[in-house]
Structure 1
């Protein structure tokens, strides 16, 4: 199953079912996000600590709907993370997964670092992913596990290689795939760099523009900008648009996909539970 949402579809999904808004709400839904730097968004957190980050976008979108249960979204992405690294770090896995109260959903987005650092990606990545899924099923048996495609980060061919393997693993494990790549790529048609971070060594920025750089954007000897503030001056500077990490606008896209998927699934589950409660028990 391959799923993607756009903003119009999200509005429909969030609006559907409001006729049941007076029904008693179930308990809080607990959601875990696992993955790499494109999940945790360290650059955004460091430069814009009070902004809405990925987990905030998901929570706030779902919180607007009176028929949906409140959600708690735990973002446990780690810079540079790979499936094999998560498996090789028992303390982190225990803290992020095993010791968590029962989870309802676990979203996994891996592959960007794996394809760069795993020696035999085509063999080792699927094997490690399946091992992780087995452990998650054992340690959080009530959680629905969802694999996500990676965002446009490398060449089209390399991105496709990663996502083909993600979908193959999901098919083998009978798990859904939430497509993040397609909607992100669609967003980039409105501007090829509008969803990406800007990062460049200060020494590579022409001196005459140094005074225009906000002080908080200079981190050590690197300039970090999360929008198009300096594009008019630096667009032609080599590597100004090289970084492919999401900016805050990028996380709005990613959060919209997550919220859309969750709205659909939560309403599906609520309907099933309602039918089960209204169906008389069969005498033994």
Structure 2
């Protein structure tokens, strides 16, 4: 069995566990992450399954606070998803509506919605309100936390998406978690340090494909995927080499770090209220 096929099988198993794992009601705080591919973290799970993943890092950082209850973080992100697709596909009902004992639910959509939903500025807020109504119905004791998107598209598109998310949060009287500024600030250290490289294999020069061979993901459209800059020296001059803006492990550490910083005082305050 080839290395690539083995990795794909491992990834499928990991993703299946991620999407279907029920919340453990064993005294742990239950945290659900809903979102698209920038929440799912498919390729970090595929290429570095032995490392702490996005949801693991959140849990570890919250535990490191020392005075918080243990947490269980459930990642239910899915590549290509919009809010409309989450609801209409039945995935919400199957994988989110019946999770027991949820305490905090992070909702991060907008990138795919902006690209796929007609009349985006009208329909996206409506879809967001619809999802929030379902979450309130199914998880009445959970804190609902709308999130802004990361700097994935250009600043103008990101500002439009995040403005609508902010508007929904205000109308719903919910606390907005604005991840955009921290991620944008980190990108000042290097514009491509937080994203992986994914590039079609057929666009790699034939004479250099031996260098790319260990990093090929098989499928209908084979691609070279690396989580860092190790191949930039050879392929960084190719048009579109840096085009993919999905987070790599470093990017997910940034999101997880900011998430833990946002959530720790919230959990702490709630714990004090119960005393």
What per-residue deviation string (whole Å, max 9, x for no partner) do you get for residues 203-245 of structure 1? 2122343222362x10122100110101122111111000010
Of 207, 214, 218, the residue aligned with 2:216 is 218
Q: What is the match of residue 30 of structure 2?
A: 30
Query: Is 1:61 the counterpart of 2:61 in the alignment?
Result: yes
SS for the counterpart of 1:76 is strand
**Alpha-carbon separation, structure 2, partners of 1:98 and 1:41:** 22
Q: What is the match of residue 186 of structure 1?
A: 185
Aligned-CA RMSD value:
1.3
Checking the alignment, whether the CA contact within 8 Å between 2:87 and 2:93 is kept in structure 1 is no
Q: Give the alignment of 1:133-144 within 5 angstroms.
A: 133-144=132-143
Checking the alignment, whether the CA contact within 8 Å between 1:38 and 1:245 is kept in structure 2 is yes
Q: What is the match of residue 150 of structure 1?
A: 149
Shift of the alpha carbon at 1:257?
1.3
Shift of the alpha carbon at 1:131?
0.8
What per-residue deviation string (whole Å, max 9, x for no partner) do you get for residues 165-207 of structure 1? 0000000000111111111111110000000110111121223
5+ long unaligned stretches in structure 2 = 1-25
Q: What is the match of residue 247 of structure 1?
A: 248
Shift of the alpha carbon at 1:258?
1.1
5+ long unaligned stretches in structure 1 = 1-25, 275-284
Q: What is the match of residue 47 of structure 2?
A: 47
What per-residue deviation string (whole Å, max 9, x for no partner) do you get for residues 46-85 of structure 1? 1111222110110111122331100000000011111111
**Alpha-carbon separation, structure 2, partners of 1:183 and 1:64:** 21
Checking the alignment, whether the CA contact within 8 Å between 1:97 and 1:140 is kept in structure 2 is no
Q: Give the alignment of 1:202-241 within 5 angstroms.
A: 202-213=201-212, 215=214, 217-220=215-218, 221-241=222-242
Q: Greater relative contact order (Cα 8 A, min sep 6): structure 1 or 2?
A: 1
Q: What is the match of residue 200 of structure 2?
A: 201
| Range with greater deviation from structure 2 (206-215 or 125-134) | 206-215
**Alpha-carbon separation, structure 1, partners of 2:210 and 2:96:** 46
**Alpha-carbon separation, structure 1, partners of 2:154 and 2:124:** 19
Aligned length: 247
Checking the alignment, whether the CA contact within 8 Å between 1:63 and 1:70 is kept in structure 2 is yes
CA spacing shift, 1:214–1:186, aligned 2, 3 Å: farther
SS for the counterpart of 1:104 is strand
Shift of the alpha carbon at 1:27?
2.9
SS for the counterpart of 1:113 is helix
SS for the counterpart of 1:46 is helix
Q: What is the match of residue 21 of structure 1?
A: none
Runs ≥4 residues deviating over 6 A: none
Q: What is the match of residue 82 of structure 1?
A: 82
SS for the counterpart of 1:164 is helix
